[in-house]
Amino acid sequence: DAGVTQSPTHLIKTRGQQVTLRCSPKSGHDTVSWYQQALGQGPQFIFQYYEEEERQRGNFPDRFSGHQFPNYSSELNVNALLLGDSALYLCASSLGAVQRTGELFFGEGSRLTVL
Amino acid sequence: AQRVTQPEKLLSVFKGAPVELKCNYSYSGSPELFWYVQYSRQRLQLLLRHISRESIKGFTADLNKGETSFHLKKPFAQEEDSAMYYCALSGRNAGNNRKLIWGLGTSLAVNP
């Protein structure tokens, strides 16, 4: 079991561009959550996908959107990139939308740099 | 408001010394508390949760509802314990869905 896999691992974009990050959950998991982790900060919840729908959303603007596919993999899209979007984007998978156990399995993240 | 506070951004101890990473929370219901750890160049992973009351890698954490704390403790720190530690609370939002609320993290450095 490869666990949670994310791609790309690193990428550089310029302001105003758009980016798509991808995540494959741990085998057997059906729920994907996305987090933004700025340097020196804790993870900030962006949103969660379950059954191909956005179930919960953190305090992020509409420029941040996502998608979940029938195979449970997910994408995070960020439009009109700002310098402040530079961060490590973490994908976490779990079983069930309500995250009853609170145990998340994290990927290694995608490091986005916006110039 | 639901909030997790880790008052120490950095904690430095010597090998063999006791270590305590503090976590305080604010939550109106019955919380579930967790400690996650991120070692250098590794992914974030669950260390322990309060409901299991287990010891992982020598670490323990007791939920103190009176003091609203969930401090992480280890009697004898090892160099391999050096990592970033996050305290997290699982609580229900207005839609009755659970989500994790994270502290800002404490960087533990264990010196030889």
Across A7-11, A54-58, A92-96, the highest mean pLDDT is recorded for: A7-11
Contact in structure between B108 and B86 (CB atoms under 8 Å): no
DSSP assignment of A57-98 equals E-S--TTEEEEE-TTS-EEEEE-S--GGG-EEEEEEEESSTT
Q: What is the pLDDT of residue A98?
A: 53
Q: What is the pLDDT of residue B95?
A: 60
Domain extent listing, chain A: 5-114
Q: What is the pLDDT of residue B93?
A: 63
Q: What is the CA radius of gyration of chain B?
A: 14
Mean pLDDT, chain A, as a whole number?
A: 91
Residues of B whose CB is below 8 A from A41: 104-105
Residue to mutate among A41, A99, A110, with most B CBs inside 10 A, is A99
Q: What is the pLDDT of residue B34?
A: 92
Q: What is the pLDDT of residues A19-62, one digit of tens each?
A: 999 999 999 899 999 999 998 788 899 999 988 999 889 899 99
pLDDT at A15 over 80: yes
Closest CB from A56, A101, A106 relative to B99:
A56
pLDDT at A96 over 90: no
For residue B51, the SS3 value is helix
Q: Do B46 and A42 touch (CB under 8 A)?
A: no
Identify which has the larger pLDDT, A85 or B62: A85
Query: How many angstroms separate the CA atoms of B27 and B14, rounded?
Result: 34
SS (H, E, C) A10-56: EEEECCCCCEEEEEECCCCCCEEEEEEECCCCCCEEEEEEECCEEEE
Give the residue carrying structure tokens 């059954």.
A51
Query: How many angstroms separate the CA atoms of A73 and A87, rounded?
Result: 21
Residue type present at position B112: P
In order of start, what are the domains of chain B with their CATH numbers?
Answer: 3-111 (2.60.40.10)
Q: In terms of Cα–Cα distance, which of A112, A58, A49 is closest to A85?
A: A112
Burial bucket for residue A18 (CB in 10 Å: 0-12, 13-18, 19+) = exposed
Q: Which positions of chain B have pLDDT values less than 50?
A: none
Q: What is the pLDDT of residue A5?
A: 96
Domain A5-114 falls under CATH 2.60.40.10: yes
A56 touches B: beta carbon within 8 Å: yes
Identify which has the larger pLDDT, A110 or B50: A110
Quickly count: other Cβ atoms within 10 Å of residue B30's Cβ. Answer: 9
Q: What is the pLDDT of residue A102?
A: 67
Query: How many angstroms separate the CA atoms of B10 and B82, rounded?
Result: 11
Q: Do A102 and B95 touch (CB under 8 A)?
A: no
Beta bridge partners of A32: A49, A93
Q: What is the pLDDT of residue A100?
A: 55
